[in-house]
C-alpha cells in the first residue's frame, strides 16, 4: 500500500510516508519542521514542538534555582537569580492595525492528504497533520478580516498577490522584483565620469561599489541598494556599514561601471518606441499606466496564500501572520479542527484512542465479533496474531503474518493475498494501522453497567 503523495498540480503536497518516519531515519534536511521558515526569517521562527517536548526539557521540569525566603540573609549582596535572567524586551514594531488573520489549509493540500489517507489506510493524529501544514507557508491560506472602521490600508499586487500598506511601497516592490514583466532594459555606452575622486564608498554588507560620496548619483544609488536588497534593515544601520576606500583599483572599477547606462522601454507597446531614461521615469510611467489595475486596494476581507504573505509582502502583514503561526505551533487546535472538518467532508473518519488522542483514518474502529460470525482462515490468522503482538513493530508484524501463510504458492502471490485481507480489515475498521504505533486489532467495547 503506497503512500506517495499524489501529484495534484499544486505546491501543497505532503508525503505522509516521509513525514512520519522516526527522526533518525529522516533525511537531514527534513528533520526540523521549522527549516523552511528559519532559512528565510532566521531566529524569529519559534520552536514548533509543544512545551515539554523540546530538547533538554521534560513536561514536569521546574525552575531549578530557588529564591531565598523574604528577609533571609543567605544571599545578601547578591542579585536575585530570577532577576538575573530577565532581559529588557526588544522594541517591537506595531502589527497591522484593524485586521485579524486566520490560517486554513490550502484546498490542494487537503486533496492530497485525503488521497493518501484513503490509499494508505493509516490512522494519523490530527494535531500532527496540522503541524505538517504549518511547516511550509505554501500549505495554508491566510484569511484576513477587517475588524475596525479605520484599519491600516492594504494594497495587493495582482501578479504575486503580495500585500503592502501603501501604493508607493507596492510600486517599489514591483520595480525591484518584477520590472522585466513591464519594461525592457537596454544598456548603452556613455562617457565615463570626469573629475577628481579620491574616495570610493563601498557597501559593507554586500561589497557593492556605490561611488564617490561627492558624485551626483551617490545618494540615489545608496537609497536604491537599500530598497532592493536590505529593506528589512533600518536605513541608519545600513548606512553605518558603508566604508570609504582609498584604492585606485576600486576607482577604476567604478568608472568602468559608469561607462554605460540603462534605458527602459514599455513591454506592452514595443513598436511605439517610447524611451524611459532612468528608473525614476519608469516609476512615473508605471504609476500612470499600470498602478490602477495592478495594485488594488483590499476590501473588508481577503484570502491569500501563506507564501505570498510570508515570502513577498511587507513587514507589518508578515508580523501579524507570524504571530498567528507561532500561536498555532504551540497549540494547533483551531487549525486541526478545520483540517478534521474538511477531511471528514471527503469521507474520512475521526475517532479518539490512546489516552484521548484524536485520529483520522479511512474507518472508525469497529470490533469484529467472531463468536457469532466466523471469518475465513486467513482473516482469523491475522486477527489472532495481532491480538497477541500489538506492540510489535510494523515490519516484524508483516514478516510474521507472511510466515503464517503456508500455501505452496510464490511469495509474491502470498504477499498479495495478505495485503488484500489486511486492507479489507483496515477499511472495515476491524484493524487500525496507526502511523506511529503499528497494526492493532480493535478490542471489544467495554459494557457500561446500568445504574441500579
Is the confidence at residue 75, as pLDDT, over 60? Answer: no
Question: For cell 531549578, what's the residue?
Answer: 64
pLDDT band with cut points at 50, 70 and 90 for residue 45? very low
Element at 301 (helix H, strand E)? strand 301-305
pLDDT band at residue 61 using 50, 70 and 90 as cut-offs: very low
**pLDDT tens digits, 340-369:** 999 999 999 999 998 899 999 999 999 988
Q: Where is average pLDDT lowest: 52-56, 230-234, 344-348, 379-383?
A: 52-56
For 264-305, how does the pLDDT look when each residue is reduced to its tens digit (9 = 90+)? 888 887 766 788 888 889 999 999 999 999 999 999 999 999
So what's the pLDDT on residue 327? 95
Looking at residue 369, its pLDDT comes to 85
Q: Which pLDDT score is estimated for 13? A: 58
**183 pLDDT exceeds 80?**
yes
For 13-150, strand residue ranges (E) read: 99-105, 122-125, 140-146
- What angle in degrees, to the nearest 10, is found between the helix axes of 126-134 and 315-330? 160
Who's near 412: CB < 8 A, 6+ residues apart? none
Q: What is the pLDDT of residues 119-149, one digit of tens each?
A: 889 999 999 999 999 999 999 999 999 998 8
- Residues 164, 296: contact at Cβ < 8 Å? no
Q: Where are the domains of the chain?
A: 1-48+92-154+298-362, 177-290, 370-441
Confidence at residue 378, expressed as pLDDT on a 0 to 100 scale:
85
CB 308 within 8 A of CB 101: no
C-alpha cell read off for 320? 501579524
Handedness of CA 208, 211, 214, 215 (dihedral sign): negative
Instruction: Name residue 352's beta-bridge partners.
Output: 358
What does the pLDDT average to over 35-46? 42
Q: If you average pLDDT over residues 34-39, what whole number do you get?
A: 44
Helices and strands counted in the chain (H then E):
18, 16
Of the pLDDT bands very low, low, confident and very high (cuts 50, 70, 90), residue 212 is confident
More confident of the two residues 77 and 329: 329
Quick one: cell of 384? 489472532
Amino acid at each position: 500500500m503506497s503512500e506517495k503523495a499524489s501529484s495534484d498540480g499544486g505546491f501543497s503536497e505532503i508525503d505522509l510516508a516521509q513525514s512520519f518516519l522516526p527522526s533518525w531515519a529522516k533525511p537531514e534536511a527534513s528533520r526540523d519542521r521549522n527549516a523552511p521558515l528559519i532559512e528565510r526569517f532566521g531566529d524569529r521562527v519559534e520552536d514548533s514542538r509543544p512545551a515539554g517536548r523540546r530538547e533538554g526539557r521534560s513536561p514536569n521540569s521546574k525552575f531549578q534555582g530557588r529564591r531565598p525566603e523574604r528577609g533571609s540573609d543567605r544571599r545578601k549582596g547578591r542579585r536575585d537569580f530570577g532577576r538575573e535572567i530577565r532581559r529588557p524586551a526588544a522594541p517591537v514594531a506595531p502589527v497591522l492595525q484593524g485586521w485579524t488573520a486566520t490560517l486554513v489549509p490550502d484546498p490542494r493540500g487537503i486533496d492530497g492528504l485525503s488521497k493518501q489517507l484513503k490509499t494508505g489506510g493509516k490512522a494519523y493524529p490530527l494535531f500532527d497533520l496540522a503541524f505538517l501544514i504549518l511547516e511550509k507557508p505554501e500549505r495554508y491560506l491566510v484569511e484576513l478580516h477587517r475588524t475596525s472602521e479605520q484599519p491600516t490600508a492594504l494594497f495587493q499586487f495582482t501578479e504575486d498577490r503580495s500585500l503592502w500598506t501603501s501604493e508607493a511601497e507596492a510600486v517599489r516592490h514591483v520595480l525591484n522584483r518584477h520590472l522585466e514583466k513591464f519594461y525592457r532594459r537596454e544598456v548603452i555606452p556613455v562617457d565615463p565620469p570626469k573629475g577628481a575622486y579620491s574616495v570610493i564608498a563601498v557597501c559593507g554588507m554586500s561589497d557593492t561599489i556605490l561611488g564617490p560620496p561627492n558624485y551626483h548619483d551617490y545618494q540615489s544609488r545608496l537609497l536604491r541598494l537599500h530598497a532592493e536588497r536590505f529593506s528589512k534593515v533600518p536605513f541608519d544601520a545600513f548606512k553605518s556599514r558603508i566604508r570609504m576606500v582609498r584604492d585606485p583599483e576600486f576607482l577604476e572599477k567604478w568608472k568602468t561601471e559608469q561607462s554605460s547606462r540603462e534605458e527602459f522601454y514599455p513591454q506592452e507597446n514595443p513598436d511605439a518606441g517610447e524611451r524611459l531614461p532612468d528608473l525614476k521615469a519608469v516609476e512615473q510611467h508605471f504609476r500612470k499606466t499600470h498602478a490602477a489595475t495592478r495594485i488594488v486596494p483590499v476590501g473588508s476581507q481577503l484570502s491569500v496564500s501563506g507564501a505570498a504573505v510570508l515570502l513577498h509582502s511587507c513587514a507589518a502583514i508578515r508580523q501579524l501572520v507570524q504571530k498567528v503561526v507561532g500561536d498555532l505551533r504551540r497549540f494547533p487546535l483551531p487549525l486541526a479542527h478545520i483540517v478534521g472538518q474538511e477531511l471528514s467532508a471527503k469521507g474520512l473518519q475521526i475517532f479518539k484512542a490512546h489516552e484521548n488522542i484524536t485520529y483520522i483514518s479511512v474507518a472508525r474502529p469497529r470490533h469484529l465479533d467472531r463468536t457469532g460470525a466466523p471469518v475465513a482462515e486467513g482473516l482469523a490468522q491475522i486477527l489472532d496474531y495481532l491480538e497477541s503482538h500489538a506492540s510489535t513493530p510494523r515490519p516484524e508484524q508483516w514478516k510474521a503474518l507472511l510466515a503464517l501463510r503456508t500455501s505452496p504458492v510464490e511469495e509474491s502471490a502470498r504477499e498479495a493475498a495478505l495485503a488484500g485481507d489486511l486492507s479489507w480489515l483496515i477499511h472495515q475498521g476491524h484493524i487500525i494501522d496507526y502511523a506511529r504505533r503499528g497494526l492493532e486489532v480493535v478490542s471489544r467495547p467495554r459494557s457500561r453497567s446500568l445504574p441500579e
